[in-house]
Structures are given as structure tokens and as C-alpha cells.
Amino acid sequence: MHRSPIKHCKNCGASVVYRVPDDGDIKQRAVCPSCQLIHYENPLNVVGTVPHLGDRVLLCKRNIEPRWGKWTLPAGFMELGETTSEGAARETDEEAGAEIELEGLFTIINVARVGQVHLFYRAKLLSDKFDPGHESLEARLYAEHEIPWDEIAFKTVKETLELFFADRRAGHFQVHHLDIA
């Protein structure tokens, strides 16, 4: 995992130590030697949508790092206090300014090496008018044969798009679960 280690206790501010807690746990955790609070480091959820209209999907050109200038589905980190579907809808609005109707959960992708779980929902576009936010250079509809496959920002997005078009050709959508090494 590429996250920075925890250095200070969020409860009392003391420097933490990494050790196996005395509570029967078997993993090293950040433990505060002062107040004994155990700090757990858990995966982050990335939530987004596959917005579609007819035979086309909406992609956003990234205006932020990583992968500036590459194409992606509208997605981002889930916020506290929201459900996965609420976060996916919020990210679609923030990044694409797209009006959508959420459909079902489509892909659940574990990216353990970076401590993330990506969840994409299918979303029916209610309009072909978009108003991309500051994180996107542009938002554009693409048919499968028009997608700039070599310019897709993330493997999770490429896998989700490939599965979407395969399910569309098959005439039914299912929930897909996969791991990316």
C-alpha cells in the first residue's frame, strides 16, 4: 500500500508505535503508547458511474493528477456520511455535470496493492448536455469503437468499460467482481 504511515495519535497527539496490539490482533497496527488507541488503516472506496445514452458512454478528460489529460469514467473517493450510490452520483455531477438516473451496481474491483475498492454503477443519462467541473477538461460521449482505449487513465476504468460493452452485446447486465494486481 502506498499510503503514508500514521505518525501521531488522532486522540491525544502522541507519537504512535507500530506493534501487534495486546487485544488478540495478529497484525501490526499504529498504537498510541500514551492513550492505547489502536489506529486501523482501511481501504479507501472509489465510487463512480458508467453513464450511458443509447450506444454511447460518457468519459471525462482528467484535469488533475494522476493521469492528467487521460480519459476516465466519472469517479472519485467516497465521502463520510454518504452511501456508495450517493457518492457515485455526486462524483458524476462534480466531474461531468451530467444529469443521470442511477441503475444497478455494475463492477466491484479490488485494487489491494493501493488499498482501494472501486465500485461503478450503471447510470442512464437523462440529457446529452454536460457541464464538467474543475477536475475535468471535458466530458464527451463515445461509442465503443470511438473510445481512445490507449488514453484510458486507469485499468479499473478500462476493465469496467470492456465489461459494459460485452454485457450490452449479450443483452443483459450483471454485477462483476474482480481483482487487479
pTM for this entry: 0.90
Summarised one tens digit per residue, pLDDT across range 11-49 is: 999 999 999 998 889 999 999 999 999 999 999 999 999
Q: For the chain, what is the total number of helices (H) and then of strands (E)? A: 2, 11
Summarised one tens digit per residue, pLDDT across range 149-159 is: 999 999 999 99
Q: Which residues contact 23 (CB under 8 A, 6 or more apart)?
A: 38
CA 153 from centroid of its chain's CA atoms: 12
Domains of the chain are: 1-41 (2.20.70.10), 44-179 (3.90.79.10)
Q: Which letter, b or e, does each residue of 83-101 get, where b requires 16 or more Cβ atoms within 10 Å of its Cβ? A: ebbebbbbbbbbbbbbbbe
Torsion of CA 179, 154, 161, 149, to 10 degrees: -130
Q: List the Cα angle 102/106/107 in 5-degree steps.
A: 135
Nearest alpha-carbon partner for 132 in 51, 74, 87: 74
Summarised one tens digit per residue, pLDDT across range 59-83 is: 999 999 999 999 999 999 999 999 9
Query: What is the pLDDT at residue 22?
Result: 86
H/E segment holding residue 98: none
Mean pLDDT, rounded, of the chain = 96
